[in-house]
Amino acid sequence: MFNTFKKLFGLLTRRQRRDFYVLQLLMLLTAGAELVGVASIMPFMAVAADPQLIVSNDYLHRVYVFFGEPSTDVFLTYIGGAFILLILLSNGLLLLSQYLMNNYAHRLGGEFSVSVYNYYLRQNTLFHNRKNSADLIQHIMRDTLRLSTHLVAPALRLNGRAFSILLLSALIIYVDVFVALSSLVVLLAVYWFVFYVLRARIYRNGKNVSDYNASRNRLLNESFEGIKDIKLYAAENQLLQRFRGSTREVARALSENMILGQSPYYIVETVVLAGALLVALFLIMQKGDMEAVLPVLALYCMAGFKLVPKVQQSYLAITQIRSAQAPFNSLYEVLKAANRDDRPERDDSPALRPRKSISLDKVGFSYPESGKTLFDGLTLDIPVGEAVAITGASGAGKSTILEILLGLIEPDTGHLCVDGEPLTGQKLKGWRRSVGFVPQTVYLADASVAENIAFGLPVAEIDYERVQTVARLAGAADFIEELAQGYDTLVGERGALISGGQRQRIGIARALYRDVSVLVLDEATNALDNATQEEIFRNLRSAAGSMTLIMVTHREETLRFFDRIYSLEEGAVSVVEGL
């Protein structure tokens, strides 16, 4: 567990560590105020049991004189009022520290969530191809939340309670060493024994919660993505059974860890009640005078009233930390990588517009998971202003060539070049700003048509005149203007409320909105009829001026719109003649 805290502390930024140290000081101050509040019960009970102490005890007599030597009852009222004020002060500080601890824990969890999200966004498309999006969402949403509620917050509570336990223990040890040490040993031994026996089960339950929640996330994503297939093949019951099974396991693990965290309290409660009687008997037998026993007994009762819940809360915090270790361990490397550079990528690189050519120079590439070489020394030249088509069999690597041309993935060897210069670093970012891309399946957000065309811009910054211009070029203006709210019509999640051809035309309009120099299309007109496709290409060729068009296509009737056609076969490209 100490190693977990060490790794967690290593992830904190300078500001987060500073806030942590401030919290430690506040916790120590709170523990000190609580100690004074508990100790203040002794003079009240001592004077109540023996009023002569006002005269015989030097400290009490000085306070008595300070208040003008009132009657015993009035003086007792003053002492009682001081006791109540001290308790109110200590509880007020406790409430404040609890609020600040919870705020810090949830803020830290939120910052971890943002950091992980930023890290995943910055990974290339190969990374996202290998990962299940449900697992990434699990890390961003659920696991970082569990870190705040089951690791950071309990760790802070444990730390704060430890200060209080140490100071209160020191107080009762100062009053009576034997009684205090024997009581503390019994109390801590019960909790230690229970935790030692159950710690493996608590860890396993925590891991099961994380694993089964990830499984539920994947199942939900796949269910709603493939709802048509689920309906067609009547798979609802089978999926429901899987979801129900995972949900039951999560509920079982959570409830079991909750009862494992609470169970020692009921054992300790019995021990404390029996111990209180034994302590009272021991003190009476030792001192033989009830007046002498009463203040000490009241102190022990007050300390026990404060101490036992704190020990229980500390144990509960330890069980929560134990249950969160599994998700923390699975997320640690991601947090560590995200923490190396948590700054958002700069997006102010000027667009890099090609003047002569776009080329791939002796490019080699293989997918890491397969190890199979897709290209080795592939060279491709695309003159600026031309329309170039790339054809080839399925699996030949056409889409991969487009991703390299777009700068989304980097080749193992060779370079993507613009005007003969290799693109790296800021140049690569500038290149992406001058390229538009329309994939086979266009992603549409659950927003308006205009917001989807001007994707990535706040509504207030959308140029509606530009939106309408590119919609006309993409052959989308007619159907958009027929929608109930025109360009403000919502398209539904992933564009579910419009047709596939309409989604593709919005995708083309989106690519054109940024005034790009190069337009890359990956089977981006396969949902369009020939007449609509021809209209779009004529619009693009006539209005785009010097724009370079690059398209992967299988449709032979599409090839007549292109100046140059490359065929990709067995990792090499060749020019297709005679079309």
- For 53-63, the pLDDT digits (tens) are 777 777 777 88
For residues 509 and 426, the answer to whether their CB atoms sit within 8 Å is no
Closest CA to 205 of 144, 263, 150, 167: 150
Mean pLDDT, rounded, for 323-332 = 84
**Pair of tokens at residue 191:** 């909790």
**Pair of tokens at residue 11:** 């992830």
Give the percent of the chain with pLDDT over 70: 85
Which architecture does CATH list for 357-575? 3-Layer(aba) Sandwich (3.40)
For residues 209 and 258, the answer to whether their CB atoms sit within 8 Å is no
Most confident of 431-435, 485-489, 537-541: 485-489
Closest CA to 20 of 82, 86, 103: 103
- Whole-angstrom distance, CA of residue 420 vs CA of residue 416: 9
- Whole-angstrom distance, CA of residue 157 vs CA of residue 310: 9
Domains of the chain by residue range? 2-340, 357-575
For residues 237 and 196, the answer to whether their CB atoms sit within 8 Å is no
Helix 58-66 vs helix 41-49: crossing angle, to nearest 10: 90
Greater model confidence, 370 or 468: 468
Tell me the whole-structure pTM to 2 decimals: 0.72
12: number of Cβ within 10 Å: 16
Mean pLDDT, rounded, for 497-519 = 86
- Whole-angstrom distance, CA of residue 539 vs CA of residue 534: 9
Residue 71 — very low, low, confident or very high, per pLDDT cuts 50/70/90? confident
Closest CA to 402 of 438, 442, 356: 438
Closest CA to 519 of 547, 539, 543: 547
Mean pLDDT, rounded, for 516-525 = 82
Task: Find the radius of gyration of the CA atoms of the chain.
Answer: 36
Please identify, in words, the CATH class of the domain defined by 2-340. Answer: mainly alpha
For residues 191 and 140, the answer to whether their CB atoms sit within 8 Å is no
- Whole-angstrom distance, CA of residue 460 vs CA of residue 471: 19
Amino acid found at 569: E
Q: Give the side-chain half-sphere CA count within 13 A for 534.
A: 6
pLDDT-wise least confident of 72-86, 174-188, 197-211:
174-188
Per-residue confidence (pLDDT) for residue 578, from 0 to 100: 47
Range list of H helices, 40-71: 41-49, 53-56, 58-66
User: Which residues contact residue 514 at a Cβ distance below 8 angstroms, ignoring those fewer than 6 apart?
Assistant: 433, 436
Per-residue confidence (pLDDT) for residue 387, from 0 to 100: 86
Is 568's pLDDT higher than 80? yes
Long-range CB contacts for residues 82-88, cutoff 8 Å, separation at least 24? 82/40, 83/37, 83/40, 83/41, 83/44, 86/33, 86/36, 86/37, 86/40, 87/37, 87/40
- Edge-first strand order for the sheet with 421-422 is 373-383, 357-366, 413-418, 421-422
Torsion of CA 102, 107, 108, 109, to 10 degrees: 90
